[in-house]
A and B are shown apart, each in its own frame.
Chain A
């Protein structure tokens, strides 16, 4: 600015004052949420058949294997709430990591400024859609520092489940490692909300149960000891797991 004539400086200064006044008005408008909007906290209660999923605890899966989890992590993306008339609230830019590991438990996130009214269903996807799945040049929950990105095959692990299962033939626990990703395994879920679910401007929690047992036995009952089923990074078996995890979410009733 030092090369500008004084008159110009003065004018710029008064313009800046004008602008500041203008921005003060516009900000105070922004800070007030639209009348009647709510924050909805989406809660993912990770469980195994009705019990809170406890890392290291033994459970029995659909095939009859004893299983223990070390970590359970997945991306939830593109969340939408539908109204009776078919219109939707869409959360912009929503890619959220839900996780239960020794290091960290985070099982909820907020939908902001959801307009008041009645809603009938919740739609979301498990994983990262193709517009975001082809580069790790990203921030927030998609920052590759969350260990959810492959370093040799650009893209995100949509779901990571790691632990042990008891291999009866060998009479010992063996690892299972499920890293399911790739565009073909992106799955979308629509769940009905409890009847009469509506927002009236107050913040609300919407709780879902997530049954980790379904990973090994939704539509596809998985034998962890079968060849190619203890470690899954991709390929045809990953699609079977994806079909399973698509079924593991339920909206809690009575809320």
Chain B
């Protein structure tokens, strides 16, 4: 014990003066109590990577994640205090909503794009269907402030949280200050959303060669087809190559709604990106219908029919959607389609969909 203490004391002699000096020079803040947020490292399934990526400025903490989870389910986040993030992002649907185009926003107007699922967001590069959001912290600004979504004024939101009975303490626990900023709101929500990790489907267990994890012969044939015919787009165990592609849904790209129909082209202002959208993951696909950026297909059969025989040609159409003979579409037999759908069912992760840690937090 004595050695331990003397070591500690030596360290204190070195660092304590510096620490106190730094603190006391800050403009009039009282000495903070030494409670700092508890850093944690979310567990990551081995086939997804070594750890979940996050920006250095917003590391995971127990308090930050809990606060983000509370904010996610709190209707106070909306202008009319009636809509929360969870109004459109349902945990049992991998945080999608099961609707073609939502009307659950503040104005009741139908939205122009399908609500995206929220899963494994930390690994993605570019969020929203067109990659307009450049990090998970920034993506929050869209739904939060859009008049047809949560219609919130950030100044009012911060004021409202600041005068709440519980939030100031919770922000202080998470970020060391009870003077709330919009950045703290975004950071807490981002921490929570990065913990929404799905990696325990039947396929995942098979991929990790876990004991007793097997796939049926139809599922295995489906997997082989996904790895060949659905590649390079839906590649890796994330089932997306993170690219933006025109998958032949349309050949006219409307300028209406500030060129929303340009897809990625609206973000890059490059005509080569007209009608391109981010390749979505195939994870939990069965529970995230309807499909495509505008939710136009209700079933996986419709989706596969599109790839087999519904491709609309345009100058930006992805070359991966041409058969070897140059004709449009992906070569698929009826049996291929059935096997692919059988495999896609193995990507449903019940543990993720039913994880109590992702649901509304207990009331204080």
CB distance from B91 to the nearest CB of A (A): 24
Write out the residue numbers on chain A whose beta carbons fall within 8 Å of the beta carbon of B145. 151
Compute how far the CA of A152 lies from the CA of B138 in the bound complex, rounded to whole angstroms: 9
Write out the residue numbers on chain A whose beta carbons fall within 8 Å of the beta carbon of B55. 135, 137
Name B's interface SS: helix
Asked if A19 is at the interface of the complex by the 8 Å CB criterion, the answer is yes
Beyond A135-B137, A137-B135, A149-B141, whether A30 also contacts B25 by CB under 8 A is yes
Q: Which of B16-24, B42-50, B272-280 contacts A (4 or more CB under 8 A)?
A: B16-24
Write out the residue numbers on chain A whose beta carbons fall within 8 Å of the beta carbon of B183. 136-139, 143
Asked if A134 is at the interface of the complex by the 8 Å CB criterion, the answer is yes
Compute how far the CA of A30 lies from the CA of B26 in the bound complex, rounded to whole angstroms: 11
Interface string of B101-140 (1 = CB under 8 A from A): 0000000000000000000000000001000111101110
Q: Across the interface, do A153 and B5 meet the contact criterion of CB distance under 8 Å?
A: no
Output the nearest chain A residue to B22 by Cβ-Cβ distance. A23
Write out the residue numbers on chain B whose beta carbons fall within 8 Å of the beta carbon of A5. 5
Q: Across the interface, do B57 and A137 meet the contact criterion of CB distance under 8 Å?
A: yes
Write out the residue numbers on chain B whose beta carbons fall within 8 Å of the beta carbon of A145. 153-155, 158, 182
Q: Give the interface size class of chain B.
A: 35 or more
Beyond A15-B13, A135-B135, whether A27 also contacts B24 by CB under 8 A is yes
CB distance from A55 to the nearest CB of B (A): 21
Q: Across the interface, do A27 and B181 meet the contact criterion of CB distance under 8 Å?
A: no
Q: Across the interface, do A19 and B269 meet the contact criterion of CB distance under 8 Å?
A: no
CB distance from A182 to the nearest CB of B (A): 8
CB distance from A135 to the nearest CB of B (A): 5
Q: Which of A24, A134, A143 contacts B134 (CB 8 A)?
A: A134
Asked if B146 is at the interface of the complex by the 8 Å CB criterion, the answer is yes
Asked if B300 is at the interface of the complex by the 8 Å CB criterion, the answer is no
Q: Across the interface, do A143 and B17 meet the contact criterion of CB distance under 8 Å?
A: no
Q: Across the interface, do A19 and B141 meet the contact criterion of CB distance under 8 Å?
A: no
Q: Across the interface, do A135 and B138 meet the contact criterion of CB distance under 8 Å?
A: yes
Interface string of A148-192 (1 = CB under 8 A from B): 010111110000000000000000000000000010000000000
Instruction: Please name 7 pairs of A and B residues whose Cβ atoms are closer than 8 Å in the assembled complex, sorted by A.
Output: A15-B12, A15-B13, A22-B17, A27-B21, A135-B134, A135-B135, A136-B138
Instruction: Supply 19 further A-B pairs (C-beta < 8 A) apart from A20-B20, A139-B181, A182-B269.
Output: A8-B9, A16-B20, A135-B137, A135-B138, A136-B141, A136-B183, A137-B55, A137-B57, A137-B137, A137-B183, A138-B183, A143-B154, A143-B183, A144-B154, A145-B153, A145-B182, A151-B145, A152-B146, A236-B269
Contacts from A to B (Cβ < 8 Å): 5, 8, 11-12, 15-16, 18-20, 22-24, 26-27, 30, 134-139, 143-145, 149, 151-155, 182, 233-236
